[in-house]
Structure 1
Amino acid sequence: MTPEEQDLIMGLAFVPGMDRTRTLDEVLAHFGESDGGALALRLLRDSMERRDADDVEMALIVHGAADASAEEFLEPLIELFPAEWHREHEDIVSMLGTLRSPKTVPTLAKATHWVPEHLAWDENRALAVKAIWALGGTPGAQARAALVGLRDAENEIIRDNAVKQLARRGRL
């Protein structure tokens, strides 16, 4: 993706206190697409193939602006999550959490334990907390078991959030 295309897509990003500078229609027209979800998926797959962290971010911005269904993104997001070459781990976990799919449980469980290098500074473990909340909203015994396994975590933030999610699910 060219820097001009990245600037175009960045115009779709929501920044508190500022209006967006571009419309989805402008971005779609530039890329010759009529469907924002299809464009986002194409951009995501392309960025993964090229291992381009900036373009992963652009694809997720288009996805959000298009209010696209995350379901068709399930497999690429699961594949992309553990890669160290990008910085979108938290956004990926959030997107997977909206799916509430048992297929996401192994990835979400990994996110409760793994800290990507670019998030090593985060003592609040935001990635893990997002994953725990996503597990809390995911139906099924596998998600529950992942939460139960976190009840005795050494990290107090992880432990407390797991207990809260189990309570929310109605099962401690």
Structure 2
Amino acid sequence: MLAHFGESDGGVMAFRLLRDAMERRDADDVEMALIVHAAADASVEEFLEPLIELFPAEWHREHEDIVSMLGRLRSPQTVPTLVLATRWVPEYLDWDENRALAVKAIWALGAIPGPEAREALEGLRDDEDEIIRENAVKQLARRGGL
């Protein structure tokens, strides 16, 4: 399939597609770029900056996939974006009383080594939202931080 598009590396193609979709603010093409990335079983590391940049954009619907990808990185660089994912609810997810996006972000924070993620979880431990609090406490306990 890659040869059809003049490409030999699916990760490179996915990165190019993602950047192009972001420039054009094309939600369908963002979704397609992430599908190509997954199909290519490409590394997430080179996607770190565009994913962090893309996450808060309201014109797409890939926030949960982005949080999952950032979670796989287990990088302290992702902490601010993951914290944002616990506090901000995109309009299209406003119906979700279970706060799946926030829960994914909290579990991703729980897997990140270092003080940045621990401090973020400690801050979430006192959140007004019970789901946020409970999941932050679970992740701190899992890390041995209670």
Q: TM-score, normalised by structure 2?
A: 0.98
1:157 is the counterpart of 2:104: no
1: CA distance, partners of 2:71 / 2:120 = 14
Which consecutive segments of 4 or more residues in structure 1 shift more than 6 A? none
Partner of 1:53: 27
* Cα distance in 2 for residues equivalent to 1:153 and 1:31: 48
1:66 maps to amino acid: A
> Residue 153 of structure 1 aligns to a residue in which SS?
coil
Partners of 1:32 and 1:161 in 2: CA distance: 45
User: Is 1:78 equivalent to 2:73 in the alignment?
Assistant: no
Determine the C-alpha separation between the residues in 1 that align with 2:118 and 2:42.
28
Separation of aligned partners in 2, 1:64 and 1:149: 32
Q: Partner of 2:104 in structure 1?
A: 130
Shift of 1:29: 2.1
Corresponding residue for residue 44 of structure 1: 18
Deviation per residue, 1:31-87 (Å, 9 max, x gap): 110001001000000000000000000000000011100000000000000000000
User: 2:39 maps to which residue?
Assistant: 65
Q: Which has the higher helix share?
A: 2
- Structure 2 distance, partners of 1:150, 1:100, is 18
Partner Cα distance (1:127, 1:68) in 2: 23
Q: Which residue of 2 aligns with 1:109?
A: 83
State the alpha-carbon separation in 2 of the partners of residues 55 and 83 from structure 1. 14
Rounded to whole Å, the distance in 2 between the matches of 1:138 and 1:171 is 13
Q: Which of 114, 121, 124 is residue 147 of structure 1 equivalent to?
A: 121
Give the structure with higher Rg (CA).
1
1:95 to 50, 64, 69: 69
Distance (Å, rounded) in 2 between the aligned partners of 1:44 and 1:147 = 30
What TM-score results when the alignment is normalised by the length of structure 1?
Answer: 0.84
Structure 1: runs of 5 or more not aligned = 1-25
